[in-house]
Amino acid sequence: MGTFGASLSVANPTNGKAVEVMAEVDTGSIFSVMPKSLLNSLGISPTEHRQFTVASGEVVTYPVGEARFGFDGRARTSPVVFGNEGVYLLGAVSLEAFGLIADTTNRELIPAPTLYLM
**Long-range contacts of residues 76-80, Cβ cutoff 8 Å, at least 24 apart:** 77/13, 78/31, 78/32, 79/31, 79/32, 80/10, 80/31, 80/32, 80/33, 80/34, 80/39, 80/44
pLDDT in tens, 62-90: 999 999 999 999 999 999 999 999 999 99
pTM of the entire predicted model = 0.90
pLDDT in tens, 40-69: 999 999 999 999 998 899 999 999 999 999
Residues listed for the chain: 118
Question: Where is 39: in which H helix or E strand?
Answer: helix 36-41
